Chains A and B, each alone.
Chain A
C-alpha cells in the first residue's frame, strides 16, 4: 500500500540552528513529492515540490529538500530557523505513474522554536 511516513512527531530547535525534517515514502516509481507548512489556525501552504530533474529543490522561506531515491526519502532542510518557522510541516506524496494518482499526506511534524 502507498504510504508516507514522517518519523518525528515533534521537534524543538533553537532559533538560528539548522533544521532537518524527515520524510520517507513507499512507492516503486518516482513519485511526485511535496512539503506543505501549516501555521497555527491556518490552512496548508506549499513550501516546495519535486516532480523530476535536479534532486535538490529550493522552496519559499529559505527551505530546501533533497530527493534521495536510494533511501526513498525527501527530507526538508533549512540552514537557520527563525521563530516564525514554528508550525506544522506535512510531507505529501503522489505516485508518478498516473495523472489520476491522488496525493497522500503524512501525519505531520510539529516544529517548535526555542528562543
Chain B
C-alpha cells in the first residue's frame, strides 16, 4: 500500500495563478483532510471531507476550494494564488470518525511569488 500520496511535491506560482493539489489514498478511508503548516503555527485545517461527494470548511478555508468526486481522491484548488498561501500543504485521511488516527502524505511545498 502506498498510503497517502500527494502531487506535486514542490511548486512555485506567481501571484494570481491557479493550481490544484492532488491527494490520493489507497486505504479506503472515509475522511480526508487538507492542512497547511507554517512555522510556529502547527497544522491548520483548511477543508475536510467526511465521504465521497462531501466537503466542509475547516479553520482557514478562505482562498481555497476542494472537491471529493471519488472516495480515494481529495483535490485542493487555489483559484488566485497569493503570497500568504506560501506554505507546506499536507493531506491526511482517517477511517471511521473525524477524531480517529490520521495518516499523512509527504506534503507539498508551495511558494507564491
Contact = CB atoms under 8 A, between A and B. Distances in A.
Contacts of A105: 35, 42-44
Given A99-B98, A102-B98, A103-B98, A43 B41 contact: no
Contacts of A100: 97-98
Given A102-B48, A105-B42, A105-B43, A49 B97 contact: no
A36 B99 CA distance: 14
Interface range for B: 20 to 34
A45 B41 CA distance: 18
**Interface size for chain A: under 10, 10 to 19, 20 to 34, or 35 or more residues?**
20 to 34
Contact of B43 (A9, A45, A90, A96): A90
A42 interface: yes
A9 B39 CA distance: 11
Nearest to A96: B99
Q: Which of A49, A100, A105 has the most CB of B within 10 A?
A: A105
A107 B48 contact: no
B90 A101 contact: no
A94 B101 contact: no
For B44, B97, B99, B107, the residue with the greatest tally of chain A CB atoms inside 10 Å of its CB is B99
B40 A44 contact: no
Contacts of A108: 40, 42
B41 A107 contact: yes
Interface in A38-55: 41-46, 49
Contact of B99 (A9, A46, A90, A102): A102
Given A42-B106, A43-B106, A105-B43, A34 B101 contact: yes
Contact of B90 (A32, A43, A96, A102): A43
6 contacts: A9-B40, A32-B99, A44-B104, A45-B104, A100-B98, A107-B40
Interface of B: 4, 35, 40-45, 48, 58, 90, 92, 97-99, 101-107
